[in-house]
Chain A
Amino acid sequence: MIKVENLVKAFGPNRAVDDISFGVERGEVLGFIGPNGAGKSTTMRVVTGFYPPTAGRVTVGGFDVAENPLSAKRLIGYLPENAPGYADMTVHGFLSFAAELRGLRGDARKKAVVRAVETCFLDSVLYQTIDTLSKGYKHRACLAQSIIHDPDILILDEPTDGLDPNQKHEVRGLIKRMGEHKAIVFSTHILEEVEAACTRVIIIDRGKIVANGTPEELKARSEVAGAVRLKACGVTAAELNEKLSVLAARTEILSQDGAHVVARAYPRERGVNGAFAGHIAELAQRERWKLDEIHVEEGRLDEVFRAITLPDTVKGSHS
């Protein structure tokens, strides 16, 4: 539904978005992550038609955003960064206005407002002006505006920014539910959010895509992915290290206190599979260590994120 081809957006000499390509289909939730200033918001602003692209092409539902902006914009619901709203309007007035600009009239408009209010839990503040709302409510008012016309495509720039943990959880759930029949792109810098709601992740850094895959694929790139973490009793760290060296490429002692040793063993061959853990379990049985805990690490997104977006890593080699 969204197709971005070789998109470049420059502000003077500064290329905020530098040759980015990706696509999003219905039923997909694409998470955009990247450090501050990476170009996430700029990309979204081009996709929503707010900024014209410097080079490249964006099509939305088959309409070129530059050539046919109105048709493209009709398909999109957009939550801009920082959730702006007209300070002097009530939530109800604001949503009615949004519905009107979306071409909804009369009964259809009233219904749309009621539905958006319900979805975003805004009943209690319906007749409060936007400048008196707490940050969480202000965010949800703007989110309600973005879904007022039940769009096929949703672009959400940091939809959970400034929400409390419960609200974050609700919004994530909402995104996930809506993602089943819409195409959604949302940006965040909270990595667990990506794991909780996305079907696909793009990591963007300094205007370029440095990784693109499912959360699982990206996590598997983590150094710890496939390593086995164990907590053993009745063995010293040195002994554990020595015995594991037969199986593992390397063993890392994470902590030891009295009787317990917590260690992480890295397999000789990378990749997540159960065989390595099985071998360690057998070894433990033979050596009569008591294992309190053993599991295969999935890999951690934050680690991948840091590794790819660190200043000195080689760019592009991952994507």
Chain B
Amino acid sequence: MNAWANIKAITKRELGGYFTSPVAYVFLVIFLLLAGFFTFTVGNFFERGEASLMSFFTWHPWLYLFLVPAAGMRLWSEERRLGTLELLLTMPITTWQAIVGKFLASWLFLIIALGLTFPVWFTVNYFGSPDNGVIVAGYVGSALLSGTYLAISCMTSAMTRNQVISFIVSVMICLFLILAGFTPVTDLLTRWASPLFVQTIAAFSVMTHFEGFQRGVIDLRDVVFFVSLIGFALFTTGVIIRGHRAG
């Protein structure tokens, strides 16, 4: 299909762009170092004495909070800064093909980064006998989580040609999505607000929906939550890009 071929061409170009720049490798190293740091030091991986990756996945919402916006901030702002946006959108492709193509490339990159954490998985299997189904669910949830943050960064990077602003705004939005369901915050909220209100807010939080995956439960509702957030953010990206051109 034509649409698919266009998306593939864009994804290929974008992904190639990641791996020809040293920034990508720096990103990967930082990602792996931080993932290890959170898991083994902050998460007390060894002291817990459990054969699970709970202490690994628990930190992902925080780990991604800065790293994903950093990976996604250049997505559209760079196209606008270089002027290649004009080139891309005057090609015989639709705006959504360009958006999906670019999003998929960055998401693949993040999934590759996540995949490179496989030594952690080897480690638990070496020391104990974890439930590998739970671990797979954790990886799926983590990938969906990074995709959600990425779609938000995609949206903010379409808003401005300034990457720093794009970064800050997307960190803010992602932070909100964490805090809305972060237990210390919800506990605090219940003192002033009705439980229903707190629950409603928490329903929008990635924490609430990521929780199940960590326990090994792939709930369709959680998947739908992440996928619809991604869809919404990408749709908004399209609206923003069209809005710029409409003047």
- Give residues in A with beta carbon < 8 Å to B: 9-12, 16, 45, 48-52, 54, 70-71, 73-74, 76, 78, 80-82, 84-89, 93, 97-98, 100-103, 129, 142, 145
Contacts and interface: CB of A to CB of B under 8 A. Distances in A.
Interface string B1-45: 010011001100100110011000000000000000000000000
Contacts of A51: 245-247
Contacts of B239: none
- Decide if the interface of chain B is mainly helix, strand, loop or mixed: helix
A85 B2 CA distance: 24
Contacts of A87: 82
Contact of B92 (A50, A85, A102): A102
Contact of B9 (A45, A81, A100): A100
A88 B21 contact: yes
Interface string B225-247: 00000000000000000000111
B247 A50 contact: no
A73 B88 CA distance: 11
B90 A9 contact: no
Contacts of A85: 82, 84, 87
Contact of A50 (B20, B21, B90): B90
Given A51-B247, A54-B247, A88-B21, A97 B13 contact: yes
Contact of A86 (B6, B9, B84): B84
A49 B93 contact: no
Contact of A88 (B9, B17, B91, B94): B17
A50 B86 contact: yes
B118 to A, nearest CB: 28
Contacts of B84: 84-86
Given A74-B92, A85-B82, A88-B17, A103 B247 contact: no
A80 B9 CA distance: 21
Interface residues of B, number: 24
Contacts of A97: 9, 13
B1 to A, nearest CB: 12
Nearest to B19: A88
17 contacts: A12-B247, A45-B86, A49-B89, A52-B245, A54-B247, A73-B91, A80-B87, A84-B84, A85-B84, A85-B87, A88-B17, A88-B21, A93-B13, A93-B16, A101-B10, A101-B91, A103-B5
Contacts of B119: none
Nearest to A14: B247
B48 to A, nearest CB: 43
A80 B5 CA distance: 24
Contact of A10 (B13, B91, B247): B247
A179 to B, nearest CB: 21
A98 to B, nearest CB: 8
A48 B91 CA distance: 9
B83 interface: yes
A12 B93 CA distance: 28
Nearest to B95: A69
Q: Which 10 A-B pairs have the closest CB atoms?
A: A84-B83, A11-B247, A100-B9, A73-B92, A101-B91, A48-B90, A80-B86, A74-B92, A84-B84, A70-B92
A88 B79 CA distance: 12
Contacts of B93: 70, 101
B59 to A, nearest CB: 32
Contacts of A50: 86, 89-90, 245
B241 to A, nearest CB: 11
Interface in B111-149: none
Interface in B62-99: 82-84, 86-87, 89-94
A103 B245 contact: no
Nearest to B245: A51
Contacts of B245: 50-52
Contact of A80 (B10, B16, B21, B83): B83
A103 B20 CA distance: 25
Interface centre among A73, A74, A81, A97 (most CB of B within 10 A): A97
Given A50-B86, A89-B13, A102-B92, 6 more contacts: A49-B89, A73-B90, A89-B16, A101-B9, A101-B10, A103-B92
B172 to A, nearest CB: 28
Contacts of A9: 247
Contacts of B6: 101
A145 B83 CA distance: 14
Contacts of B82: 84-87
Nearest to A70: B92
Interface centre among A10, A76, A81, A101 (most CB of B within 10 A): A101
B92 A101 contact: yes
Given A73-B91, A101-B91, A101-B92, A84 B247 contact: no
